[in-house]
């Protein structure tokens, strides 16, 4: 709380578990999301794309190769694009073994499964639309998925537990039009000159942690937006971005961030 704070900048810093606690468990699996919650993160980040038959699935790369055994299971299906596989096929994949044997058999989750996992907890969701230009209409589809859980959007937004972000800013402007109650974040570092216009509909500017300074954070704040920076994994770097006044830190190691925040 503000009263317990030794200095103002760490008050209510939002901790986000990147692709789940991906430093400790295979990225974008339910196991990694659960670990992020367990480690005290306020939000769990994930990347949403769409299967060939229209199911919203959570995967970082636009191909399935790096984080699943797709090349063994479907050897003749190069280049193994997410959008070329049905959900029934994606369900057959192992998204855990590449990380460690402990997670063998972890499936590729759907967006619905993530909502159902996170919704009963104290944590929330930072959903990234990954390469949305590949998936026409995905903004409306994601909005409808959130809205299909009665009361979820209203209560999660009120608790600051639901944000949608993308590197594709035009996609985020569309998302804002489709579901204006849900805050949207712009990944990357828009030039200062663009910020006033972006601030008419965007809520967060979410830059890489080496790309901005305290003055930039000040400008974003003056325009009524927040800064959540990625992907900050070392304690020293966490302290540096907190000194620059960020509102949130996106990390593979929520446990490290917890310790850093406790020390400030
Ligand atoms: O949440 C920020 C971060 O996820 C953006 O980069 O490549 O990990 O999706 P990436
Ligand atoms: Ca992401």
Residue 1 has what pLDDT?
37
Of all residues in the chain, what percent carry a pLDDT higher than 90?
Answer: 95
> Which of the residues are catalytic?
18, 60
Residue 185 has pLDDT above 50, yes or no: yes
pLDDT value at residue 10: 44
- The verdict on domain 8-50+111-263 having CATH code 3.20.20.70 is no
Domain boundaries, the chain: 8-50+111-263
Please give the model's pTM, rounded to 2 decimal places: 0.96
C-beta of 18 in contact with ligand 1 (< 6 A): yes
Tens-digit pLDDT profile for residues 17-28: 999 999 999 999
Supply the residue whose CA is at minimum distance from atom 2 of ligand 1: 230
Give pLDDT tens digits for 141-179.
999 999 999 999 999 999 999 999 999 999 999 999 999
pLDDT at position 238, please?
98
pLDDT averaged over every residue in the chain = 96
- CA–CA distances in Å: residue 101 to residues 32, 94, 109, 119, 253: 14, 11, 18, 28, 20
For tokens 């480690």, name the residue.
39
- Helices 138-147, 169-178: axis angle to 10 degrees equals 40
209 ligand 1 Cβ < 6 A: no
Q: Which atom of ligand 1 is nearest to the CA of 250?
A: 1
pLDDT tens by residue, 36-79: 999 999 999 999 999 999 999 999 999 999 999 999 999 999 99
pLDDT at 11: 58
Kindly give the pairing relationship between strand 43-50 and strand 124-129.
Answer: parallel
CB 230 near ligand 1, within 6 Å: yes
Q: What is the pLDDT of residues 82-128, one digit of tens each?
A: 999 999 999 999 999 999 999 999 999 999 999 999 999 999 999 99
Q: Judge whether residue 2 has pLDDT over 90.
A: no
């Amino acid at each position: 709380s503000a009263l317990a704070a030794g200095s103002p900048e760490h008050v209510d810093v939002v901790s986000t578990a990147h692709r789940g606690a991906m430093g400790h468990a295979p990225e974008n699996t339910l196991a990694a999301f659960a670990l992020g919650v367990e480690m005290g993160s306020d939000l769990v980040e994930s990347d949403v794309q769409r299967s060939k038959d229209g199911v919203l699935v959570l995967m970082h790369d636009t191909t399935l190769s790096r984080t699943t055994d797709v090349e063994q299971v479907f050897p003749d299906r190069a280049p193994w694009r997410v959008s070329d596989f049905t959900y029934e096929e994606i369900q057959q994949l192992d998204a855990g073994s590449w990380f460690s044997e402990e997670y063998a058999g972890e499936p590729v989750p759907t967006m619905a499964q993530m909502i159902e996992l996170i919704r009963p907890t104290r944590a929330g969701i930072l959903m990234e639309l990954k390469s949305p230009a590949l998936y026409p209409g995905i903004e409306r589809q994601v909005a409808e998925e959130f809205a299909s859980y009665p009361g979820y959007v209203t209560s999660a937004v009120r608790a600051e537990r639901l944000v949608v972000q993308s590197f594709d800013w035009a996609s985020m402007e569309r998302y804002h039009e489709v579901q204006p109650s849900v805050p949207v974040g712009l990944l990357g570092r828009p030039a200062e000159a663009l910020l006033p216009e972006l601030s008419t509909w965007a809520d967060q500017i979410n830059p890489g942690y080496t790309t901005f300074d305290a003055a930039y954070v000040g400008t974003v704040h003056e325009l009524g937006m927040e800064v959540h920076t990625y992907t900050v994994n070392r304690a020293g770097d966490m302290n540096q971005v907190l000194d620059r006044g960020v509102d949130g830190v996106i990390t593979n190691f929520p446990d490290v961030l917890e310790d850093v925040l406790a020390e400030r």
